Amino acid sequence: MEPSLKKRIFGILEPGDEDSKYFDPFIMSLIVLNVVVVVLETVQWLYVRYVPLFHAFDVFSVAVFSVEYLLRLWSSTEDPRYYNHSSLSGRLRFMVSPMALVDLFAVLPFYLPFIIPELRFVRAVRLFRLFRVMKLARYSDSLQTFIDVLRLKKDELGLIFFTIMILLIISSSLMYEAEHEAQPDAFSSIPAAMWWGIVTLATVGYGDMFPITPLGKLIGSVVVILGIGLFALPTGMLASGFAEVVQARKEAKERKGMVCPHCGRVIEGQLVDTICTAREDAREEGRKK
Amino acid sequence: MEPSLKKRIFGILEPGDEDSKYFDPFIMSLIVLNVVVVVLETVQWLYVRYVPLFHAFDVFSVAVFSVEYLLRLWSSTEDPRYYNHSSLSGRLRFMVSPMALVDLFAVLPFYLPFIIPELRFVRAVRLFRLFRVMKLARYSDSLQTFIDVLRLKKDELGLIFFTIMILLIISSSLMYEAEHEAQPDAFSSIPAAMWWGIVTLATVGYGDMFPITPLGKLIGSVVVILGIGLFALPTGMLASGFAEVVQARKEAKERKGMVCPHCGRVIEGQLVDTICTAREDAREEGRKK
Amino acid sequence: MEPSLKKRIFGILEPGDEDSKYFDPFIMSLIVLNVVVVVLETVQWLYVRYVPLFHAFDVFSVAVFSVEYLLRLWSSTEDPRYYNHSSLSGRLRFMVSPMALVDLFAVLPFYLPFIIPELRFVRAVRLFRLFRVMKLARYSDSLQTFIDVLRLKKDELGLIFFTIMILLIISSSLMYEAEHEAQPDAFSSIPAAMWWGIVTLATVGYGDMFPITPLGKLIGSVVVILGIGLFALPTGMLASGFAEVVQARKEAKERKGMVCPHCGRVIEGQLVDTICTAREDAREEGRKK
Amino acid sequence: MEPSLKKRIFGILEPGDEDSKYFDPFIMSLIVLNVVVVVLETVQWLYVRYVPLFHAFDVFSVAVFSVEYLLRLWSSTEDPRYYNHSSLSGRLRFMVSPMALVDLFAVLPFYLPFIIPELRFVRAVRLFRLFRVMKLARYSDSLQTFIDVLRLKKDELGLIFFTIMILLIISSSLMYEAEHEAQPDAFSSIPAAMWWGIVTLATVGYGDMFPITPLGKLIGSVVVILGIGLFALPTGMLASGFAEVVQARKEAKERKGMVCPHCGRVIEGQLVDTICTAREDAREEGRKK
């Protein structure tokens, strides 16, 4: 027996299937091209020259993404996650899922000016088209990996972030006191001095603000020596978190068949378990709120 | 039997209790707001516009923090750490504890100008209000974690710091010799050249000082290649120390009930033990001095 | 019985043999000298002064490298990798091997202008002489180690690279929107703003582009704090990958005699096995294409 | 029986003994003060004001260090390392030991101008006084730790250094080709462009040289993304090497009594053994040369 049209469309739309071997690369290329076009449109001479092309491509993309969204909405009743619900309740649940919202926001900015004409002249609306890049999240583990890493290391990262903030405020205030009189324009207030603090602690050092008094240079030296280790700490934590998560994924892949009852992903190995538990906890907390 | 008023107030003031579920967030918000106000006050137009508001907020904060300090002092006899002492001796011991000193210094700058009127015009007094941020230490493990990490890695960090200092002095002296003639204003002395050394070795590179002679550029290249690894080393050490301490904390949390006889914190697991021993050693050294 | 001349020449040309104890250092010095000469030739006064010397050295180098290439081609039939093939087919297989192509491209730019005279005036042809540095790859494990490390960590590096690209595009677009009006020349388009993004996220911070508006500085601060950890992540991964590969090599060296059937290198130990398998997989993929 | 005067003086001069509890801090303070004086002397107004003081201090330091050197030379026959030799041969062996050479070079620059009067006017002679800081090496494990770390990681560091050099040459050459026409003064030759390469790859970014053409910016972006990970790699290696060496030292300290037959230091644990073997190998290599 042939599968129903709805089932087949669902299969095509879901990533990673045999059915979607033509659809996946097509939609991914379209997303990447959209990002490239938004970036290139801001180059004056390119925009002037190819404005009809840019416009046509935008209309075509919105058309494809709109049809994709509607088909996803229609076939969402085939999704095991919304299986046990009535077709309306299941579709509503699908509509508020993160990826469905991303799909909606990817096309909405195009239709909005037709409803609220004033928006037509707001330049920043263009930026919302960059939001389409989020559609790639469906095809990549990247985002999920990052969320897992952040969740695994949230205690350490929180501590460091808090300490960095305090160091930043204290060092910027000291520098403001030391340099305000010598450079009243550059170090005009503590918030202004905090721009110096961030640019220095991150070792970017543009050179638009730096101490010129001996006291300011002394404070700057101490801050730099104390602070740089601190600013670079999160990297070390992310790196080790990343290694742990990727390792757990690899181990999990080798033991296919076992599926986590919480998140529907392959598991086994202590860490994956930890991640799943953490994810479950996070969800439960979300539910309580 | 109802607990005494003193006991109840002690319970409210101590962080993390059920009794303090309203007090803790209130005092923490007040501390954070104080920091925000000190920072924003330095913005000229904000200060001009809201000067009465800023002043009123400062008076209110000092009033709250003063009452808090007096209540803590009064109820400190309920603290198990000062239990076995007479009420006067126990309160004196409380007064010289680090957190009590922080509480005192958080309000003292406000009262001092009433006693020594000359201080009213010293701008830097304002900075002491930033000291209030230290009151947060009571509610956060952050500071304690850092102290633990530094204690665990003090040998390595000391070695590196010593080596960095020597590299800094040698490279700055060489650069001074190489650039002094070509840029007598920028590289006017070895201490001046050390500002170049710190800004370069930390990879900040403001661009206010850099070698322009071929010899200077050659020395700069060698220093950069040799020195950057050195300057970034403490980060790696802090990162691994952090991971070890956080790991030990997590393990300790899971085995609640066992308490370190030295520092009154939950223990078990080799590292926590090491930390406690290190802490005890440090205390003993302090006592000897 | 004396080995044939071809066998002896093959032995001399292959690195690391007793026979090549004079040839290896000679050819390596010549390669390094070639790089030094290409670099020094661009210094105007040196070029003017020593132009005949530079030219003579280039002719001499090309002569040596050409003879070396021809001898390698002739003696390649002694190579066990091309043993079981007919002498023509074996030599053709040798010619398309990576190192043989490097040897060819190292001398080709010298001969090309004789065939296509127009190339004589193309300045960039000179750069191709830098390609000779690749000939060192035969004498160093460096390149192979790097390829092994990249292969081992390709999943993590891919994820990070993808995330960095997205962060770069989003932050550059936001900065463009914030700064375009205040600095229309510097932030003229999103591609122009991406130069700011790369220079900032990599913490280079030349100081040729930086935000001057409050909104721009706010966006810059968030981007710097979020992004630097990300940009430094690959280093952590490479470092651990490097350590693993070097460790595996050391272990392998101690168990001489066992040779990987895939890549002809000494093996044993799980990781070396993984590397060999990965290498084999990569080759198979290459074959399929 | 009282120990002989020579034995007592040897005991006082050797660091870490009960006998040297007054001498060690004195000589260390004198060394540090010498460095501080060399640094401060270059500050014009300080030098003008305190020139007799600076001179007197230098004479005093040289006197102390000279007497120290002669006493060390005289008492060196008590050193177990020079025990089995005749008193002349033992003293000669002591004179060519690294620390004795450091002691000699620390005072020699003072006496040289009396022998060769022309040296009196060579400004750089002053720099040699900085060499006195090396005398601290006797009292610190710092230098030895670094040498151990470098020895342990010499393979990895060599590989990385080689790769960095190649990347530096290639990227500087490409940048030279791209920017030479637009900025003939800044990118005047490949060696000049290499200053850009080092400053960029090390993420210092002074802002004295940066690409301005689109092609240059593109090359710069690729170089920055590829190269930064590479430049930061040695730090990761040093960090892990450091951790291993410090760990091995700690373990060794706990098992006092066992002494390495090669280097006379406490051993046990595989790593310490490895370090000792490496040290022995290095010495043997040195002997062969």
Question: Which range scores top for mean pLDDT: A84-98, A239-253, A273-287, C94-108?
Answer: C94-108
CB A268 within 8 A of CB A252: yes
**Interchain pair C235, D236: CB under 8 A:** yes
Q: D181: distance to nearest CA of chain C, Å?
A: 12
A257 has a pLDDT exceeding 50: no
CB pairs below 8 Å between A and D: how many? Answer: 7
Question: Which range scores top for mean pLDDT: C151-155, C285-289, D47-51, D233-237?
Answer: D47-51
pLDDT of residue B282: 55
pLDDT of residue B5: 84
pLDDT of residue D277: 54
**Percent of chain C topping pLDDT 70:** 81
**Percent of chain D topping pLDDT 70:** 81
Asked which of A142-151, B76-85, D108-117 is least confident by mean pLDDT, the reply is B76-85
Chain A partners (3+ C-beta pairs within 8 A): B, C, D
**Interchain pair D225, C202: CB under 8 A:** yes
Closest chain A residue to the Cα of C235, Cα to Cα: A239
**Mean pLDDT confidence for C21-44:** 89
Select the residue from C40, C204, C208, C246 to test the D interface by mutation, using most D Cβ atoms within 10 A: C204
**Percent of chain D topping pLDDT 90:** 28
Closest CA to D201 of D227, D234, D173: D227
CB burial of A230-269 (b: ≥16 within 10 Å; e: otherwise) equals bbbbbbbbbbbbbbbbbebbebbeeeeeeebebbeebbbb
**Percent of chain A topping pLDDT 70:** 81
pLDDT tens-digit profile of C166-217? 889 999 999 998 999 999 999 999 999 999 999 999 889 999 999 999 999 9
Name D266's bridge partners. Answer: D259
C31 has a pLDDT exceeding 80: yes
A205 has a pLDDT exceeding 60: yes
- Chain mean pLDDT for chain A: 80
pLDDT of residue D17: 67
**Between D31 and C123, where is the model more confident?**
D31
Q: What secondary structure letter does DSSP report for B17?
A: S
pLDDT of residue A260: 44
Q: A231: distance to nearest CA of chain C, Å?
A: 8
Residue with tokens 């104390």: A226
Q: Which residues of A touch B202 (CB under 8 A)?
A: 203, 224-225, 228
Closest CA to D217 of C187, C127, C195: C195
**Interchain pair D198, B224: CB under 8 A:** yes
- Chain mean pLDDT for chain C: 80
pLDDT of residue C219: 94
pLDDT tens-digit profile of D222-279? 998 887 777 778 877 888 888 788 777 777 666 544 444 344 444 434 444 455 555 5
CB burial of C136-163 (b: ≥16 within 10 Å; e: otherwise) equals bebebebbbbbebbebbbeebbebbeeb
Chain B partners (3+ C-beta pairs within 8 A): A, C, D
pLDDT of residue B137: 81
**Interchain pair A198, C224: CB under 8 A:** yes
pLDDT of residue C252: 67
**Interchain pair A207, D207: CB under 8 A:** yes
**Interchain pair C221, A198: CB under 8 A:** yes
**Between B255 and A166, where is the model more confident?**
A166
pLDDT of residue A99: 87
**Interchain pair D130, B177: CB under 8 A:** no
pLDDT tens-digit profile of B179-207? 999 999 999 999 999 999 999 998 899 99
Residue C81 CA to residue C10 CA, distance in Å, equals: 13
pLDDT of residue B279: 54
pLDDT of residue D279: 55
Q: Which residues of D touch B228 (CB under 8 A)?
A: 202, 231-232, 235
The long-range contacts involving B9-18, CB below 8 angstroms and separated by at least 24 positions, are B9/B71, B9/B74, B9/B75, B10/B75, B10/B76, B10/B78, B10/B79, B13/B68, B13/B71, B13/B72, B13/B75, B15/B138, B15/B139
C261 has a pLDDT exceeding 90: no
pLDDT of residue D230: 79
pLDDT of residue C285: 56
pLDDT of residue D272: 45
Q: Give SS3 for D54.
A: helix
B233 → closest Cβ in D124, D130, D239? D239
Residue B208 CA to residue C239 CA, distance in Å, equals: 33
CB D199 within 8 A of CB C203: no
- Enter the tokens of residue C131: 């390609």
pLDDT classification of C83: cutoffs 50, 70, 90: low
pLDDT classification of A178: cutoffs 50, 70, 90: very high
Residue D174 CA to residue D177 CA, distance in Å, equals: 5
Looking at chain D, how many residues does it have? 289
Asked which of A102-111, B76-85, C127-136, D143-152 is least confident by mean pLDDT, the reply is B76-85
**Interchain pair D246, B155: CB under 8 A:** yes
Closest chain B residue to the Cα of D197, Cα to Cα: B221
**Mean pLDDT confidence for D15-39:** 85
Chain C partners (3+ C-beta pairs within 8 A): A, B, D
- In Å, how far from its chain's centre is CA B226? 31
- Enter the tokens of residue A248: 């757990």
Dihedral of CA atoms D152, D154, D160, D161 in degrees, nearest 10, equals: 140
Closest chain D residue to the Cα of B232, Cα to Cα: D235
**Interchain pair A224, B242: CB under 8 A:** no
**Percent of chain B topping pLDDT 70:** 81
Residue D234 CA to residue D146 CA, distance in Å, equals: 13
pLDDT of residue D121: 63
- Enter the tokens of residue C79: 């190579």
Q: Which residues of D touch B159 (CB under 8 A)?
A: 140-142, 145, 246
pLDDT tens-digit profile of C225-257? 887 777 778 877 888 888 788 777 777 666 544
Asked which of A63-67, B251-255, D58-62 is least confident by mean pLDDT, the reply is B251-255
pLDDT of residue A14: 80
**Mean pLDDT confidence for C152-175:** 87
Q: Which residues of A touch B240 (CB under 8 A)?
A: 236
Q: Which residues of D touch C231 (CB under 8 A)?
A: 228
C264 has a pLDDT exceeding 90: no
Question: Which range scores top for mean pLDDT: A14-28, B242-256, D70-84, D167-181?
Answer: D167-181
**Mean pLDDT confidence for D195-204:** 92
Q: D289: distance to nearest CA of chain C, Å?
A: 18
Scanning A180-204, the segments in alpha helix (DSSP H) are 190-201
CB A187 within 8 A of CB A197: no
pLDDT tens-digit profile of A206-252? 999 999 999 999 999 999 888 777 777 887 788 888 878 877 777 76
pLDDT of residue D50: 92
**Mean pLDDT confidence for D37-49:** 90
Q: Which residues of A touch chain B, with CB atoms under 8 Å apart?
A: 155-156, 159-160, 162-163, 166, 169-170, 173-174, 176-177, 188-191, 194, 200, 203-207, 210, 217, 220-221, 224-225, 228-230, 232-233, 235-237, 240
The long-range contacts involving A248-252, CB below 8 angstroms and separated by at least 24 positions, are A248/A272, A248/A275, A249/A141, A249/A145
pLDDT of residue B130: 83
Closest CA to B104 of B129, B69, B71, B74: B69
Asked which of A227-231, D107-111, D284-288 is least confident by mean pLDDT, the reply is D284-288
Question: Which range scores top for mean pLDDT: A97-111, B135-149, D70-84, D139-153?
Answer: A97-111
A148 has a pLDDT exceeding 80: yes
Residue by residue, DSSP assigns chain C as -PPPHHHHHHHHHSTTSSTTTTHHHHHHHHHHHHHHHHHHHTSHHHHHHHHHHHHHHHHHHHHHHHHHHHHHHHHGGGSGGGTTS-HHHHHHHHHTSHHHHHHHHHHHHHHHHHHSGGGGG-TTHHHHGGGGGGGGGGG-SHHHHHHHHHHHTHHHHHHHHHHHHHHHHHHHHHHHHHHTTT-TTTT-SHHHHHHHHHHHHTT---SSS---SHHHHHHHHHHHHHHHHHHHHHHHHHHHHHHHHHHHHHHHHHTTT-B-TTTSSB--SHHHHHHHHHHHHHHHHHHH-
Contacts of A160 (CB under 8 A, 6+ apart): A230, A233, A234, A237, B242
**Mean pLDDT confidence for B260-264:** 43
Closest CA to C185 of C220, C209, C159: C209
pLDDT tens-digit profile of B109-124? 888 888 877 766 666 6
- Chain mean pLDDT for chain B: 80
**Mean pLDDT confidence for B224-238:** 79
Asked which of A33-37, A142-146, B253-257 is least confident by mean pLDDT, the reply is B253-257
Q: Which residues of D touch chain A, with CB atoms under 8 Å apart?
A: 203-207
**Mean pLDDT confidence for A182-192:** 93
**Between B219 and A282, where is the model more confident?**
B219
Asked which of A258-267, B25-34, B87-96, D242-251 is least confident by mean pLDDT, the reply is A258-267
pLDDT classification of B266: cutoffs 50, 70, 90: very low
CB pairs below 8 Å between C and D: how many? Answer: 106
**Interchain pair D163, C142: CB under 8 A:** yes
- Chain mean pLDDT for chain D: 80
B260 has a pLDDT exceeding 50: no
Residue A125 CA to residue A144 CA, distance in Å, equals: 27
The model carries a pTM of 0.83
